[in-house]
Chain A
Amino acid sequence: MQNVWVLASLWVGLALIATLLAIWFKISTALTEIVVGTVAQLIVSAYVSQGGLAAKTEWITFLAGTGAIVLTFLAGAELDPAVFRAKWKESTIVGLVGFFGPFLGCTAIAHYVLHWTTRSSWLAGVALSTTSVAVVYAVMLELGFNVTDFGKAILAACFVNDLGTVIALGLIFSPFTAKTVIFIVVSVGIFVVLPFLTPHFFRKYGGRVSEIEAKYLLFILFAMGGLAVWSGSEAVLPAYVIGMVLAGTVGKDHVLIRRLRTLTFGLLTPFYFIRAGSFVSVPSLAAAPMVFVALFFGKMSSKVIGLFPTVKAFKYQREEGLYFTLMMSTGLTFGTISALFGINHGIIDQAQYSHLVATVIGSAVIPTMIANAWFMPRHLLRKSVEEKPVAQPVTLSAERGNS
Protein backbone atom coordinates (compact mmCIF):
# COMPACT_ATOMS: atom_id res chain seq x y z
CA MET A 1 0.00 0.00 0.00
CA GLN A 2 1.90 3.03 -1.31
CA ASN A 3 -0.71 5.74 -0.87
CA VAL A 4 -0.11 7.34 2.52
CA TRP A 5 -3.61 8.69 2.87
CA VAL A 6 -5.29 5.41 1.95
CA LEU A 7 -3.13 3.65 4.51
CA ALA A 8 -3.84 6.34 7.09
CA SER A 9 -7.57 6.08 6.48
CA LEU A 10 -7.38 2.30 6.86
CA TRP A 11 -5.64 2.61 10.23
CA VAL A 12 -7.87 5.35 11.55
CA GLY A 13 -10.91 3.46 10.25
CA LEU A 14 -9.76 0.43 12.25
CA ALA A 15 -9.30 2.67 15.29
CA LEU A 16 -12.86 3.87 14.79
CA ILE A 17 -14.19 0.31 14.67
CA ALA A 18 -12.20 -0.58 17.78
CA THR A 19 -13.57 2.41 19.64
CA LEU A 20 -17.15 1.54 18.68
CA LEU A 21 -16.60 -2.01 19.93
CA ALA A 22 -15.18 -0.64 23.18
CA ILE A 23 -18.22 1.61 23.62
CA TRP A 24 -20.73 -1.12 22.82
CA PHE A 25 -19.16 -3.76 25.05
CA LYS A 26 -17.86 -1.40 27.75
CA ILE A 27 -14.35 -2.75 27.46
CA SER A 28 -11.01 -1.06 27.24
CA THR A 29 -10.16 0.61 23.93
CA ALA A 30 -6.62 -0.72 24.19
CA LEU A 31 -7.96 -4.27 24.23
CA THR A 32 -10.28 -3.79 21.24
CA GLU A 33 -7.51 -2.04 19.29
CA ILE A 34 -5.16 -4.99 19.81
CA VAL A 35 -7.83 -7.48 18.76
CA VAL A 36 -8.93 -5.39 15.77
CA GLY A 37 -5.27 -5.08 14.71
CA THR A 38 -4.85 -8.87 14.82
CA VAL A 39 -8.05 -9.59 12.89
CA ALA A 40 -7.47 -6.82 10.34
CA GLN A 41 -3.94 -8.04 9.64
CA LEU A 42 -5.34 -11.52 8.96
CA ILE A 43 -8.07 -10.27 6.63
CA VAL A 44 -6.04 -7.63 4.78
CA SER A 45 -3.08 -9.93 4.19
CA ALA A 46 -5.39 -12.70 2.98
CA TYR A 47 -7.64 -10.68 0.68
CA VAL A 48 -6.19 -7.23 -0.03
CA SER A 49 -2.44 -6.92 0.15
CA GLN A 50 0.27 -9.39 1.09
CA GLY A 51 1.94 -6.77 3.27
CA GLY A 52 -1.20 -6.61 5.38
CA LEU A 53 -1.50 -3.39 7.37
CA ALA A 54 2.08 -2.35 6.51
CA ALA A 55 2.79 -1.97 10.21
CA LYS A 56 6.54 -1.58 9.64
CA THR A 57 6.08 1.57 7.55
CA GLU A 58 8.29 4.28 9.01
CA TRP A 59 5.61 6.84 9.81
CA ILE A 60 3.39 4.22 11.45
CA THR A 61 6.34 3.06 13.53
CA PHE A 62 6.97 6.67 14.56
CA LEU A 63 3.36 7.34 15.56
CA ALA A 64 3.13 4.03 17.42
CA GLY A 65 6.43 4.67 19.20
CA THR A 66 5.32 8.17 20.18
CA GLY A 67 2.08 6.63 21.46
CA ALA A 68 4.02 4.25 23.68
CA ILE A 69 6.21 7.06 25.03
CA VAL A 70 3.36 9.47 25.79
CA LEU A 71 1.18 6.70 27.20
CA THR A 72 4.00 5.63 29.50
CA PHE A 73 4.61 9.22 30.56
CA LEU A 74 0.93 9.71 31.39
CA ALA A 75 0.86 6.41 33.30
CA GLY A 76 3.81 7.59 35.40
CA ALA A 77 2.13 10.96 35.96
CA GLU A 78 -0.85 9.17 37.59
CA LEU A 79 1.29 8.49 40.66
CA ASP A 80 0.17 10.31 43.76
CA PRO A 81 3.44 11.38 45.45
CA ALA A 82 1.73 12.02 48.79
CA VAL A 83 0.41 8.46 48.89
CA PHE A 84 3.79 7.08 47.98
CA ARG A 85 5.54 9.13 50.65
CA ALA A 86 3.07 7.94 53.27
CA LYS A 87 3.41 4.26 52.39
CA TRP A 88 6.84 4.04 50.79
CA LYS A 89 8.15 1.19 52.92
CA GLU A 90 5.31 -1.29 52.40
CA SER A 91 4.84 -0.17 48.83
CA THR A 92 8.47 -0.61 47.89
CA ILE A 93 8.73 -4.07 49.43
CA VAL A 94 5.41 -5.33 48.09
CA GLY A 95 6.03 -3.72 44.69
CA LEU A 96 9.48 -5.26 44.36
CA VAL A 97 8.20 -8.69 45.37
CA GLY A 98 5.29 -8.25 42.97
CA PHE A 99 7.82 -7.57 40.24
CA PHE A 100 10.47 -10.18 41.02
CA GLY A 101 7.97 -13.02 41.59
CA PRO A 102 6.60 -13.21 38.04
CA PHE A 103 9.79 -11.85 36.51
CA LEU A 104 11.83 -14.78 37.83
CA GLY A 105 8.93 -17.25 37.72
CA CYS A 106 7.95 -16.59 34.10
CA THR A 107 11.57 -16.47 33.02
CA ALA A 108 12.04 -19.91 34.57
CA ILE A 109 8.86 -21.27 32.95
CA ALA A 110 9.86 -19.90 29.54
CA HIS A 111 13.38 -21.29 29.82
CA TYR A 112 12.93 -24.65 31.51
CA VAL A 113 9.40 -25.61 30.43
CA LEU A 114 9.05 -23.96 27.03
CA HIS A 115 12.79 -24.16 26.21
CA TRP A 116 13.04 -20.60 25.00
CA THR A 117 16.51 -19.06 24.72
CA THR A 118 17.91 -17.22 27.72
CA ARG A 119 17.23 -13.76 26.28
CA SER A 120 13.71 -14.72 25.11
CA SER A 121 12.98 -16.08 28.57
CA TRP A 122 14.16 -12.91 30.29
CA LEU A 123 11.92 -10.94 27.98
CA ALA A 124 8.95 -13.16 28.84
CA GLY A 125 9.71 -12.50 32.50
CA VAL A 126 9.78 -8.74 31.93
CA ALA A 127 6.58 -8.68 29.85
CA LEU A 128 4.63 -10.62 32.46
CA SER A 129 6.08 -8.95 35.53
CA THR A 130 3.82 -5.90 35.47
CA THR A 131 0.71 -5.27 37.49
CA SER A 132 -2.00 -3.17 35.97
CA VAL A 133 -2.30 -0.04 38.09
CA ALA A 134 -5.55 0.77 36.32
CA VAL A 135 -7.24 -2.57 36.97
CA VAL A 136 -6.27 -2.34 40.63
CA TYR A 137 -7.40 1.26 40.89
CA ALA A 138 -10.71 0.66 39.10
CA VAL A 139 -11.69 -2.19 41.41
CA MET A 140 -10.54 -0.26 44.45
CA LEU A 141 -12.71 2.68 43.48
CA GLU A 142 -15.59 0.28 43.17
CA LEU A 143 -15.02 -1.32 46.55
CA GLY A 144 -14.01 1.85 48.32
CA PHE A 145 -10.51 0.62 49.18
CA ASN A 146 -8.82 3.54 47.47
CA VAL A 147 -9.30 5.72 50.55
CA THR A 148 -7.96 3.13 53.01
CA ASP A 149 -4.31 2.74 54.04
CA PHE A 150 -4.39 -0.73 52.62
CA GLY A 151 -5.62 0.49 49.24
CA LYS A 152 -3.13 3.32 49.07
CA ALA A 153 -0.25 0.98 49.86
CA ILE A 154 -1.31 -1.42 47.12
CA LEU A 155 -1.71 1.33 44.58
CA ALA A 156 1.73 2.75 45.29
CA ALA A 157 3.13 -0.81 45.19
CA CYS A 158 1.77 -1.19 41.66
CA PHE A 159 3.79 1.83 40.54
CA VAL A 160 6.94 0.35 42.10
CA ASN A 161 6.13 -2.95 40.37
CA ASP A 162 5.81 -1.24 36.98
CA LEU A 163 8.95 0.79 37.59
CA GLY A 164 10.77 -2.51 38.10
CA THR A 165 9.41 -3.71 34.75
CA VAL A 166 10.46 -0.57 32.91
CA ILE A 167 13.96 -0.54 34.45
CA ALA A 168 14.42 -4.23 33.63
CA LEU A 169 13.30 -3.63 30.05
CA GLY A 170 15.54 -0.61 29.72
CA LEU A 171 18.69 -2.10 31.16
CA ILE A 172 18.66 -5.88 30.98
CA PHE A 173 18.95 -6.24 27.20
CA SER A 174 21.47 -3.49 26.56
CA PRO A 175 25.18 -4.10 26.87
CA PHE A 176 26.69 -2.16 29.78
CA THR A 177 29.05 0.30 28.10
CA ALA A 178 30.22 3.87 28.53
CA LYS A 179 27.03 4.90 26.73
CA THR A 180 24.98 3.26 29.48
CA VAL A 181 26.88 5.22 32.11
CA ILE A 182 26.31 8.48 30.22
CA PHE A 183 22.60 7.65 29.85
CA ILE A 184 22.22 6.92 33.55
CA VAL A 185 24.14 10.01 34.69
CA VAL A 186 22.30 12.38 32.32
CA SER A 187 18.95 10.78 33.21
CA VAL A 188 19.48 11.18 36.93
CA GLY A 189 20.45 14.83 36.40
CA ILE A 190 17.34 15.46 34.28
CA PHE A 191 15.07 13.65 36.74
CA VAL A 192 16.37 15.86 39.57
CA VAL A 193 16.12 19.13 37.64
CA LEU A 194 12.76 18.64 35.88
CA PRO A 195 10.43 18.94 38.92
CA PHE A 196 11.93 22.38 39.64
CA LEU A 197 12.43 23.63 36.10
CA THR A 198 9.10 22.53 34.61
CA PRO A 199 6.65 24.43 36.88
CA HIS A 200 8.82 27.54 36.59
CA PHE A 201 8.88 27.26 32.78
CA PHE A 202 5.12 26.64 32.59
CA ARG A 203 4.36 29.59 34.88
CA LYS A 204 6.44 31.91 32.73
CA TYR A 205 5.41 30.77 29.24
CA GLY A 206 2.43 28.45 29.65
CA GLY A 207 -1.29 28.91 29.16
CA ARG A 208 -1.07 30.12 25.56
CA VAL A 209 -2.75 28.94 22.38
CA SER A 210 0.61 27.77 21.07
CA GLU A 211 0.53 24.81 23.53
CA ILE A 212 4.10 25.32 24.63
CA GLU A 213 3.62 22.86 27.49
CA ALA A 214 2.93 19.97 25.11
CA LYS A 215 5.92 20.92 22.96
CA TYR A 216 8.15 21.16 26.02
CA LEU A 217 7.11 17.74 27.29
CA LEU A 218 7.40 16.09 23.88
CA PHE A 219 10.85 17.63 23.46
CA ILE A 220 12.02 16.23 26.80
CA LEU A 221 10.44 12.84 26.12
CA PHE A 222 11.89 12.56 22.60
CA ALA A 223 15.33 13.80 23.69
CA MET A 224 15.52 11.37 26.59
CA GLY A 225 14.07 8.61 24.42
CA GLY A 226 16.76 9.31 21.84
CA LEU A 227 19.46 9.16 24.50
CA ALA A 228 18.02 5.89 25.82
CA VAL A 229 17.97 4.27 22.38
CA TRP A 230 21.49 5.60 21.64
CA SER A 231 22.74 3.86 24.76
CA GLY A 232 21.01 0.62 23.72
CA SER A 233 18.12 1.05 26.18
CA GLU A 234 14.40 1.68 25.60
CA ALA A 235 12.65 5.03 25.18
CA VAL A 236 9.80 4.23 27.58
CA LEU A 237 12.20 3.92 30.54
CA PRO A 238 12.92 7.66 30.86
CA ALA A 239 9.30 8.46 29.85
CA TYR A 240 7.86 6.56 32.82
CA VAL A 241 10.31 8.05 35.30
CA ILE A 242 9.75 11.56 33.90
CA GLY A 243 6.02 10.98 34.38
CA MET A 244 6.62 9.95 37.98
CA VAL A 245 8.90 12.86 38.87
CA LEU A 246 6.46 15.32 37.28
CA ALA A 247 3.38 13.68 38.84
CA GLY A 248 3.26 16.23 41.65
CA THR A 249 3.45 19.20 39.25
CA VAL A 250 2.44 18.46 35.64
CA GLY A 251 0.30 15.53 36.81
CA LYS A 252 -1.82 17.96 38.82
CA ASP A 253 -2.37 20.26 35.84
CA HIS A 254 -5.70 18.88 34.82
CA VAL A 255 -6.08 20.92 31.65
CA LEU A 256 -2.67 19.92 30.32
CA ILE A 257 -3.22 16.25 31.12
CA ARG A 258 -6.54 16.37 29.25
CA ARG A 259 -4.90 17.94 26.21
CA LEU A 260 -2.26 15.24 26.21
CA ARG A 261 -4.95 12.59 26.54
CA THR A 262 -6.73 13.98 23.48
CA LEU A 263 -3.52 13.78 21.48
CA THR A 264 -2.80 10.31 22.84
CA PHE A 265 -6.24 8.72 22.37
CA GLY A 266 -7.16 10.59 19.23
CA LEU A 267 -4.05 9.83 17.23
CA LEU A 268 -1.19 8.03 18.91
CA THR A 269 -2.41 5.03 20.91
CA PRO A 270 -4.60 3.58 18.13
CA PHE A 271 -1.46 3.27 16.01
CA TYR A 272 0.40 1.77 18.94
CA PHE A 273 -2.16 -0.86 19.97
CA ILE A 274 -3.34 -1.77 16.45
CA ARG A 275 0.29 -2.20 15.44
CA ALA A 276 0.91 -4.37 18.50
CA GLY A 277 -2.09 -6.50 17.53
CA SER A 278 -1.06 -6.74 13.89
CA PHE A 279 2.11 -8.65 14.79
CA VAL A 280 0.14 -11.38 16.54
CA SER A 281 0.04 -14.59 14.54
CA VAL A 282 -3.24 -16.42 15.08
CA PRO A 283 -1.93 -19.65 13.45
CA SER A 284 0.98 -19.66 15.95
CA LEU A 285 -1.42 -19.31 18.83
CA ALA A 286 -3.67 -22.06 17.52
CA ALA A 287 -0.71 -24.35 16.92
CA ALA A 288 0.55 -24.28 20.52
CA PRO A 289 -2.19 -23.27 22.96
CA MET A 290 -0.36 -24.89 25.89
CA VAL A 291 2.34 -22.22 25.68
CA PHE A 292 -0.30 -19.67 26.68
CA VAL A 293 -1.50 -21.93 29.48
CA ALA A 294 2.06 -22.40 30.82
CA LEU A 295 2.86 -18.69 30.75
CA PHE A 296 -0.49 -17.71 32.22
CA PHE A 297 -0.29 -20.09 35.16
CA GLY A 298 3.39 -19.29 35.58
CA LYS A 299 2.49 -15.66 36.03
CA MET A 300 -0.41 -16.32 38.41
CA SER A 301 1.40 -18.82 40.60
CA SER A 302 4.66 -16.85 40.83
CA LYS A 303 2.75 -13.71 41.85
CA VAL A 304 0.97 -15.56 44.64
CA ILE A 305 4.08 -17.42 45.82
CA GLY A 306 6.00 -14.16 45.97
CA LEU A 307 3.31 -12.03 47.51
CA PHE A 308 1.70 -14.37 50.01
CA PRO A 309 4.45 -14.25 52.66
CA THR A 310 5.04 -10.56 52.05
CA VAL A 311 1.43 -9.64 52.59
CA LYS A 312 1.29 -11.85 55.67
CA ALA A 313 4.35 -10.04 57.02
CA PHE A 314 2.46 -6.76 56.84
CA LYS A 315 -0.46 -8.36 58.69
CA TYR A 316 -2.99 -7.82 55.93
CA GLN A 317 -5.61 -10.48 56.28
CA ARG A 318 -9.13 -9.88 55.18
CA GLU A 319 -8.37 -8.34 51.82
CA GLU A 320 -5.76 -10.85 50.71
CA GLY A 321 -8.04 -12.60 48.24
CA LEU A 322 -8.82 -9.37 46.52
CA TYR A 323 -5.23 -8.29 46.71
CA PHE A 324 -3.87 -11.36 44.95
CA THR A 325 -6.59 -11.29 42.33
CA LEU A 326 -5.80 -7.74 41.44
CA MET A 327 -2.04 -7.94 41.61
CA MET A 328 -2.10 -10.82 39.13
CA SER A 329 -3.50 -8.60 36.39
CA THR A 330 -1.01 -7.60 33.72
CA GLY A 331 -0.95 -4.10 32.34
CA LEU A 332 -1.76 -4.01 28.63
CA THR A 333 0.54 -1.04 28.11
CA PHE A 334 3.75 -2.33 29.68
CA GLY A 335 3.07 -5.92 28.70
CA THR A 336 2.73 -5.07 25.02
CA ILE A 337 5.58 -2.54 25.11
CA SER A 338 7.90 -5.25 26.43
CA ALA A 339 6.74 -7.80 23.86
CA LEU A 340 7.10 -5.26 21.02
CA PHE A 341 10.58 -4.38 22.24
CA GLY A 342 11.42 -8.06 22.07
CA ILE A 343 10.18 -8.60 18.51
CA ASN A 344 11.70 -5.32 17.26
CA HIS A 345 15.13 -6.22 18.64
CA GLY A 346 15.04 -9.83 17.49
CA ILE A 347 14.95 -11.14 21.07
CA ILE A 348 11.77 -13.13 20.43
CA ASP A 349 10.21 -14.43 17.21
CA GLN A 350 6.66 -13.82 16.01
CA ALA A 351 5.27 -16.98 17.59
CA GLN A 352 6.78 -16.10 20.98
CA TYR A 353 5.51 -12.54 20.60
CA SER A 354 2.01 -13.85 19.85
CA HIS A 355 2.03 -16.05 22.94
CA LEU A 356 3.27 -13.23 25.12
CA VAL A 357 0.63 -10.77 23.89
CA ALA A 358 -2.08 -13.42 24.31
CA THR A 359 -0.88 -14.02 27.86
CA VAL A 360 -0.76 -10.29 28.56
CA ILE A 361 -4.36 -9.97 27.36
CA GLY A 362 -5.41 -13.11 29.24
CA SER A 363 -3.83 -11.97 32.47
CA ALA A 364 -5.45 -8.55 32.09
CA VAL A 365 -8.92 -9.91 31.34
CA ILE A 366 -9.16 -13.06 33.47
CA PRO A 367 -8.35 -11.50 36.87
CA THR A 368 -10.91 -8.79 36.10
CA MET A 369 -13.48 -11.49 35.40
CA ILE A 370 -12.50 -13.34 38.58
CA ALA A 371 -12.77 -10.13 40.58
CA ASN A 372 -16.26 -9.58 39.18
CA ALA A 373 -17.29 -13.15 39.88
CA TRP A 374 -15.94 -13.19 43.43
CA PHE A 375 -16.84 -9.76 44.55
CA MET A 376 -19.97 -9.01 42.52
CA PRO A 377 -22.64 -8.80 43.58
CA ARG A 378 -22.25 -10.68 46.83
CA HIS A 379 -20.05 -8.11 48.51
CA LEU A 380 -22.70 -5.50 47.89
CA LEU A 381 -25.65 -7.41 49.20
CA ARG A 382 -27.40 -7.17 52.54
CA LYS A 383 -25.26 -9.80 54.25
CA SER A 384 -22.06 -7.87 53.81
CA VAL A 385 -23.76 -4.67 54.97
CA GLU A 386 -24.99 -6.35 58.13
CA GLU A 387 -21.58 -7.84 58.85
CA LYS A 388 -19.88 -4.50 58.29
CA PRO A 389 -19.73 -3.05 54.83
CA VAL A 390 -16.75 -4.04 52.76
CA ALA A 391 -17.13 -0.97 50.63
CA GLN A 392 -18.44 2.52 50.84
CA PRO A 393 -19.56 4.26 47.66
CA VAL A 394 -16.92 6.53 46.33
CA THR A 395 -17.44 10.12 45.40
CA LEU A 396 -15.50 11.05 42.28
CA SER A 397 -14.62 14.48 43.52
CA ALA A 398 -12.72 12.85 46.38
CA GLU A 399 -10.43 11.00 44.02
CA ARG A 400 -6.91 11.77 42.99
CA GLY A 401 -6.56 15.13 41.39
CA ASN A 402 -5.36 13.85 38.04
CA SER A 403 -7.81 11.08 37.43
Chain B
Amino acid sequence: MSGRRQHTYFRRILVAYDGSPQSEKAVELAFSLAECIDSSVLIFAVARPPEPATSVELGAVLDDAREHYEEGFKKILEKARPHNLDVKTDIAVGHPGEQIIHRAEVDGIDLIILGRRGRSMLSRMVLGSVSERVLRYAHCPVMVVH
Protein backbone atom coordinates (compact mmCIF):
# COMPACT_ATOMS: atom_id res chain seq x y z
CA MET B 1 0.00 0.00 0.00
CA SER B 2 2.72 2.46 1.04
CA GLY B 3 4.72 1.44 -2.01
CA ARG B 4 1.87 2.44 -4.26
CA ARG B 5 1.46 5.72 -2.39
CA GLN B 6 5.02 6.78 -3.11
CA HIS B 7 4.17 6.88 -6.79
CA THR B 8 0.82 8.56 -6.36
CA TYR B 9 0.63 12.18 -7.29
CA PHE B 10 -2.68 12.83 -5.55
CA ARG B 11 -1.89 11.42 -2.14
CA ARG B 12 -4.25 13.68 -0.24
CA ILE B 13 -7.61 14.72 -1.65
CA LEU B 14 -9.85 17.37 -0.13
CA VAL B 15 -13.52 17.26 -1.05
CA ALA B 16 -15.57 20.36 -0.31
CA TYR B 17 -18.93 19.23 1.07
CA ASP B 18 -22.06 21.28 1.62
CA GLY B 19 -24.74 18.61 1.44
CA SER B 20 -25.83 19.57 -2.08
CA PRO B 21 -26.25 16.93 -4.82
CA GLN B 22 -23.20 18.40 -6.56
CA SER B 23 -21.06 17.96 -3.46
CA GLU B 24 -22.38 14.39 -3.06
CA LYS B 25 -21.21 13.78 -6.61
CA ALA B 26 -17.83 15.26 -5.77
CA VAL B 27 -17.56 12.89 -2.81
CA GLU B 28 -18.41 9.88 -4.99
CA LEU B 29 -15.82 10.92 -7.55
CA ALA B 30 -13.21 11.40 -4.82
CA PHE B 31 -13.90 7.93 -3.45
CA SER B 32 -13.54 6.25 -6.81
CA LEU B 33 -10.36 8.19 -7.48
CA ALA B 34 -8.98 7.43 -4.02
CA GLU B 35 -9.70 3.74 -4.48
CA CYS B 36 -7.79 3.68 -7.77
CA ILE B 37 -4.75 5.63 -6.66
CA ASP B 38 -4.77 4.87 -2.94
CA SER B 39 -5.22 8.41 -1.63
CA SER B 40 -6.55 9.67 1.66
CA VAL B 41 -9.68 11.80 1.54
CA LEU B 42 -10.66 14.74 3.71
CA ILE B 43 -14.35 15.65 3.52
CA PHE B 44 -14.39 19.31 4.46
CA ALA B 45 -17.45 21.42 5.21
CA VAL B 46 -17.61 25.12 6.05
CA ALA B 47 -20.30 26.79 8.14
CA ARG B 48 -20.76 30.34 6.98
CA PRO B 49 -21.93 32.81 9.65
CA PRO B 50 -24.36 35.55 8.61
CA GLU B 51 -22.85 39.03 8.24
CA PRO B 52 -22.85 41.03 10.37
CA ALA B 53 -23.47 38.30 12.88
CA THR B 54 -25.77 38.74 15.85
CA SER B 55 -24.88 36.58 18.81
CA VAL B 56 -28.02 34.49 19.14
CA GLU B 57 -28.32 33.96 15.39
CA LEU B 58 -24.64 33.04 15.12
CA GLY B 59 -25.00 30.36 17.79
CA ALA B 60 -28.07 28.98 16.05
CA VAL B 61 -26.40 28.94 12.63
CA LEU B 62 -23.35 27.09 13.96
CA ASP B 63 -25.49 24.54 15.78
CA ASP B 64 -27.59 23.88 12.70
CA ALA B 65 -24.51 23.59 10.51
CA ARG B 66 -22.88 21.11 12.86
CA GLU B 67 -25.97 18.91 12.94
CA HIS B 68 -26.47 19.16 9.19
CA TYR B 69 -22.89 18.27 8.32
CA GLU B 70 -22.48 15.59 10.96
CA GLU B 71 -25.56 13.86 9.61
CA GLY B 72 -24.12 14.07 6.09
CA PHE B 73 -20.72 12.86 7.28
CA LYS B 74 -22.29 9.79 8.88
CA LYS B 75 -23.85 8.75 5.57
CA ILE B 76 -20.63 9.42 3.69
CA LEU B 77 -18.55 7.36 6.11
CA GLU B 78 -21.05 4.53 5.75
CA LYS B 79 -20.53 4.66 1.98
CA ALA B 80 -16.75 4.71 2.37
CA ARG B 81 -16.54 1.73 4.74
CA PRO B 82 -16.84 -1.10 2.17
CA HIS B 83 -14.05 0.45 0.10
CA ASN B 84 -11.68 0.52 3.06
CA LEU B 85 -10.69 4.11 2.34
CA ASP B 86 -8.78 6.47 4.59
CA VAL B 87 -11.48 9.14 5.07
CA LYS B 88 -11.51 12.01 7.55
CA THR B 89 -14.12 14.71 8.05
CA ASP B 90 -13.93 18.21 9.46
CA ILE B 91 -15.99 21.39 9.73
CA ALA B 92 -14.60 24.93 9.72
CA VAL B 93 -16.26 28.29 10.15
CA GLY B 94 -15.93 31.18 7.74
CA HIS B 95 -16.03 31.97 4.05
CA PRO B 96 -16.10 28.64 2.20
CA GLY B 97 -13.63 29.55 -0.57
CA GLU B 98 -11.00 30.91 1.79
CA GLN B 99 -11.35 28.12 4.31
CA ILE B 100 -11.03 25.44 1.63
CA ILE B 101 -7.90 27.11 0.21
CA HIS B 102 -6.40 27.52 3.65
CA ARG B 103 -7.10 23.99 4.79
CA ALA B 104 -5.68 22.60 1.56
CA GLU B 105 -2.44 24.49 2.16
CA VAL B 106 -2.14 23.63 5.83
CA ASP B 107 -2.78 19.92 5.23
CA GLY B 108 -0.60 19.72 2.11
CA ILE B 109 -3.54 18.63 -0.03
CA ASP B 110 -2.67 17.49 -3.57
CA LEU B 111 -6.10 17.77 -5.16
CA ILE B 112 -9.26 19.68 -4.30
CA ILE B 113 -12.56 18.36 -5.62
CA LEU B 114 -15.69 20.45 -5.37
CA GLY B 115 -19.12 20.65 -6.89
CA ARG B 116 -20.37 23.64 -8.81
CA ARG B 117 -23.73 24.86 -7.60
CA GLY B 118 -24.72 26.69 -10.79
CA ARG B 119 -25.99 29.78 -9.02
CA SER B 120 -27.70 32.63 -10.80
CA MET B 121 -25.71 35.54 -12.19
CA LEU B 122 -27.01 37.80 -9.40
CA SER B 123 -26.06 35.33 -6.71
CA ARG B 124 -22.56 34.96 -8.17
CA MET B 125 -22.13 38.72 -8.35
CA VAL B 126 -23.25 39.32 -4.79
CA LEU B 127 -21.80 36.30 -3.04
CA GLY B 128 -19.01 35.28 -5.39
CA SER B 129 -18.50 31.75 -6.55
CA VAL B 130 -16.73 29.38 -4.21
CA SER B 131 -15.44 27.24 -7.06
CA GLU B 132 -14.08 30.25 -8.96
CA ARG B 133 -12.29 31.51 -5.88
CA VAL B 134 -10.79 28.12 -5.14
CA LEU B 135 -9.71 27.73 -8.78
CA ARG B 136 -8.06 31.13 -8.66
CA TYR B 137 -6.19 30.86 -5.37
CA ALA B 138 -5.61 27.19 -4.58
CA HIS B 139 -2.00 26.00 -4.46
CA CYS B 140 -2.88 22.61 -5.97
CA PRO B 141 -4.96 21.20 -8.85
CA VAL B 142 -8.69 21.72 -8.51
CA MET B 143 -11.40 19.52 -10.01
CA VAL B 144 -14.86 21.04 -10.36
CA VAL B 145 -17.74 18.59 -10.69
CA HIS B 146 -20.82 19.69 -12.63
Residues of A within 8 A of B57 (CB): 28-30, 134, 265
Chain B, residue nearest A162 (CB):
B55
> In the complex the two chains form, what is the Cα distance from A258 to B63 in whole Å?
9
Chain B, residue nearest A392 (CB):
B106
A residues 331-372 with Cβ under 8 Å of B? 331-333, 364-365, 367-368, 372
Interface residues on B, range: 35 or more
Residues of B within 8 A of A134 (CB): 49, 52-55, 57-58
- Interface residue? A403 (CB, 8 A): yes
* Number of A-B residue pairs with CB-CB distance less than 8 Å in the complex they form: 141
Binding-face segment, B3-11, B25-33, B78-86, B90-98 = B90-98
B residues 91-117 with Cβ under 8 Å of A? 91-95, 97-99, 101-103, 105-106
Please count how many residues in chain A sit with their CB below 8 Å of the partner chain's CB atoms: 55
Residues of A within 8 A of B127 (CB): 25-26
Residues of A within 8 A of B56 (CB): 71, 74-75, 78, 261, 264-265, 269
Interface centre among A22, A25, A377, A395 (most CB of B within 10 A): A377
A residues 1-34 with Cβ under 8 Å of B? 22, 24-31
- Interface residue? A133 (CB, 8 A): yes
Residues of B within 8 A of A332 (CB): 52, 54
Contact with A along B17-54 (1 / 0, CB 8 A): 00000000000000000000000000000011111111
Chain B nearest CB: distance from A53 CB in Å? Answer: 22
Residues of B within 8 A of A265 (CB): 56-57, 60
- Interface residue? B133 (CB, 8 A): yes
> In the complex the two chains form, what is the Cα distance from A143 to B49 in whole Å?
13
Known contacts A25-B127, A380-B102; is-contact A261 B59 (Cβ 8 Å): yes
User: Which of B48, B52, B90, B99 is close to A364, meaning CB atoms less than 8 Å apart?
Assistant: B52
Known contacts A28-B53, A332-B52; is-contact A393 B99 (Cβ 8 Å): yes
- Interface residue? A180 (CB, 8 A): no
Q: Is the interface of A mostly helix, strand, loop or mixed?
A: helix
Inter-chain contact A27/B101, CB cutoff 8 Å: no
Inter-chain contact A376/B98, CB cutoff 8 Å: yes
> In the complex the two chains form, what is the Cα distance from A133 to B97 in whole Å?
24
Inter-chain contact B105/A132, CB cutoff 8 Å: no
Inter-chain contact A26/B51, CB cutoff 8 Å: yes
Chain A nearest CB: distance from B141 CB in Å? Answer: 15
User: Which of A258, A376, A389, A394 is close to B106, meaning CB atoms less than 8 Å apart?
Assistant: A389
Chain A nearest CB: distance from B106 CB in Å? Answer: 6
Chain B nearest CB: distance from A253 CB in Å? Answer: 13
Residues of A within 8 A of B58 (CB): 134, 137-138, 403
Chain B, residue nearest A28 (CB):
B50
Residues of A within 8 A of B93 (CB): 138, 141-142, 394, 396
User: Which of A132, A372, A389, A403 is close to B62, meaning CB atoms less than 8 Å apart?
Assistant: A403
Chain A, residue nearest B91 (CB):
A396
Chain A, residue nearest B49 (CB):
A138
User: Which of A22, A26, A333, A365 is close to B48, meaning CB atoms less than 8 Å apart?
Assistant: A26
A residues 191-212 with Cβ under 8 Å of B? none
Chain A, residue nearest B69 (CB):
A396
- Interface residue? B126 (CB, 8 A): yes
Inter-chain contact A75/B51, CB cutoff 8 Å: no
Chain B nearest CB: distance from A383 CB in Å? Answer: 10
> In the complex the two chains form, what is the Cα distance from A135 to B51 in whole Å?
8
Inter-chain contact A393/B60, CB cutoff 8 Å: no
> In the complex the two chains form, what is the Cα distance from A332 to B58 in whole Å?
13
Inter-chain contact A30/B133, CB cutoff 8 Å: no
Known contacts A24-B123, A26-B127, A399-B62; is-contact A142 B55 (Cβ 8 Å): no
Residues of B within 8 A of A30 (CB): 54, 57
Inter-chain contact B54/A132, CB cutoff 8 Å: yes
Inter-chain contact A382/B133, CB cutoff 8 Å: no
- Interface residue? A171 (CB, 8 A): no
Residues of B within 8 A of A322 (CB): none
- In the assembled complex, 16 residue pairs joining A and B whose CB atoms fall closer than 8 Å, in A order, are A26-B50, A30-B54, A133-B55, A134-B49, A138-B49, A138-B51, A138-B53, A142-B95, A254-B63, A269-B56, A331-B54, A377-B95, A377-B98, A377-B133, A382-B139, A385-B105
Q: Which residues of B contact A (CB under 8 A)?
A: 47-60, 62-63, 65-66, 90-95, 97-99, 101-103, 105-106, 123, 126-127, 133, 137, 139
The 6 closest A-B pairs by CB, nearest first: A142-B94, A134-B53, A380-B102, A403-B59, A134-B55, A141-B93
Known: A380-B105, A382-B139. 17 other contacts (CB 8 A): A22-B50, A78-B56, A134-B54, A137-B58, A138-B93, A142-B94, A258-B60, A261-B56, A261-B59, A332-B54, A380-B101, A380-B137, A381-B101, A382-B105, A391-B102, A395-B91, A396-B93
